[in-house]
Amino acid sequence: MTPLALLAKAEQAISSLEDVLVDLVAEFAARDLPLYLVGGSVRDALLGRLGNDLDFTTPARPEVLTEILSSWAGTVWDTGIDFGTVSAQHRGQQIEITTFRSDTYDGQSRNPEVVFGDTLEGDLVRRDFRINAMAVELLLDDTGSLTARFHDPVGGLEDLVHRRLDTPDTPEISFRDDPLRMLRAARFVSHLGFGVAGRVQQAMVDMAEEINRITVERIQQELNKLMEGTEPWTGLDLLVSAGIAAHIFPEIPAMRDMQDEHRQHKDVYAHSMQVLRQAMDQEEDGPDLVLRWAALLHDCGKPQTRAFNEDGRVTFHHHEVVGAKLVRRRLRTLKYSKQMVADISQLVYLHMRFYGFGEGQWTDSAVRRYVTDAGPLLPRLHKLVRADSTTRNQRKAARLQRTYDHLEERIADIAAREDLARVRPDLDGNEIMQILNLPPGPQIGQAWTFLKELRLERGPLEREEAIGELKKWWAEKGE
């Protein structure tokens, strides 16, 4: 798309906000202060995807911003005021205005010494990438209507036209100031489908170790944003090829060059990226981070379980068990929530269960255990297992999908007769204590586990039958 076409898109996006912004611009104009739409908001306006979060910059100091926004918006908050940022909510738009900055960095941490600036150019040149270093000055014409003036001191529009990520300053200086920008590059690649300039990629390779200056919390946030992109595999490829992934998530690059057990055209890494694509194709309500991470990492246990059988064929026995452990350890290191850790690792652990049964070999007991072990993750497990078929053999692919169709039919059939969502013993703990005349203790838990296993194996039992089986088990245990 040409620069003129992009500018036309931006002008259209900004004009659509006139009713929201014209009074705000008037407040600044009354104080003889300029106001600039800036950064990602300008980039998105040029791409025709401006959202409800608008970023602005101005020479006005934070106390002036608070005064202006308090008179203009119904809701104002100043949690970022120490960094020169005041935010507001008005007519469905979230507004964030930041005083010009000309920060300095110590080269040790990524936290700058906040210094307020006096020029727009000085504010823009300190930003991470040229495509985020453009601004649109909002003005009022003689009739009081909103107009705009475009500012592009570092060539961001040209980069946008060429779908390229480059830094305003040299990438070495930019990444030394804030190494998180290397992860942001991968995130923008994932979301925008852009490539990185050659000098940016080389700097990422040369400075990969600098990522260790970043806290795991910030790394986690950026990785999640990357994974929520439209093409997360492109951002992951950038991190892997630059050597950054080896520092923050080594289990991902470890899958490269790992031939799968069938010695087919794809190595484990390429296969995992394809599974990620196919899992995303099944998403229904936007990005599903749990599903995406599980798809990417489902085979991460293969490098540690690689072996060769007597015929010289490579095997990865129990890689799902090893993989689940690796996932739990890595996600805990990155301080993911307990629920995320549990869900992703359980999907990795269960993804091979389906392959243990052939077509028509699923007993009622096996179906119950599959559903019970998956629990609320069952819909995601369905998607993951279906996505895990990347064979080029059309007959084999059709057979696998047909077999899984059959399994889902079996699940639906049994669920129609039993409450598969809550498979519990036919007797509860109080009943067990009363029947066996036992006080609370570990024996009650053992009895409950026995009845749970019996329920999974045989389905729901009549009360008298369950009592009889419990008494029989207890008598045998006593002997």
Query: Closest Cα partner for 319 from 272, 382, 286, 362?
Result: 272
Model confidence band, residue 265 (pLDDT cutoffs 50, 70, 90): very low
pLDDT value for 313:
81
* First-to-final CA distance of the chain: 82
Structure-block tokens of residue 150:
């475009």
Cα(156)–Cα(133) distance, integer angstroms: 6
Rounded average pLDDT over 2-15: 89
Instruction: Annotate 185-254 with DSSP letters as a single string.
Output: HHHHHHHH--EE-HHHHHHHHHTGGGGGGS-HHHHHHHHHHHHTSS-HHHHHHHHHHHT-HHHH-TTTGG
Predicted confidence (pLDDT) at residue 2 exceeds the cutoff of 60:
yes
Predicted confidence (pLDDT) at residue 404 exceeds the cutoff of 90:
no
pLDDT value for 405:
84
Cα(461)–Cα(237) distance, integer angstroms: 53
pLDDT value for 29:
95
Q: What is the pLDDT of residues 285-334, one digit of tens each?
A: 999 999 999 999 999 999 999 888 877 788 888 999 999 999 999 999 99
Q: What is the pLDDT of residues 104-159, one digit of tens each?
A: 665 666 566 778 888 999 999 999 999 999 999 999 998 989 999 999 999 999 99
pLDDT value for 359:
58
pLDDT value for 86:
95
State which amino acid sits at residue 455.
R
Q: pLDDT above 90 covers what percent of the chain?
A: 58
Predicted confidence (pLDDT) at residue 277 exceeds the cutoff of 50:
yes
pLDDT value for 362:
75
Predicted confidence (pLDDT) at residue 375 exceeds the cutoff of 70:
yes
Structure-block tokens of residue 250:
């080594």
Cα(264)–Cα(234) distance, integer angstroms: 22
pLDDT value for 479:
46
Tell me the pLDDT of the chain averaged across its residues. 88
pLDDT value for 353:
87
The long-range contacts involving 325-334, CB below 8 angstroms and separated by at least 24 positions, are 325/301, 326/251, 326/297, 326/300, 326/301, 327/251, 327/297, 327/300, 330/249, 330/251, 331/293, 333/216, 334/216, 334/219, 334/220, 334/223, 334/248, 334/249
Cα(223)–Cα(217) distance, integer angstroms: 10
Looking at per-residue pLDDT, the higher value among 459 and 36 belongs to: 36
Looking at per-residue pLDDT, the higher value among 466 and 176 belongs to: 176
Of the listed ranges 190-194, 334-338, 434-438, the one predicted with least confidence: 434-438
- Secondary structure (3-state) at 321: helix
Please count the residues of the chain.
479
Cα(280)–Cα(287) distance, integer angstroms: 8
Relative to beta strand 85-90, strand 93-99 is: antiparallel
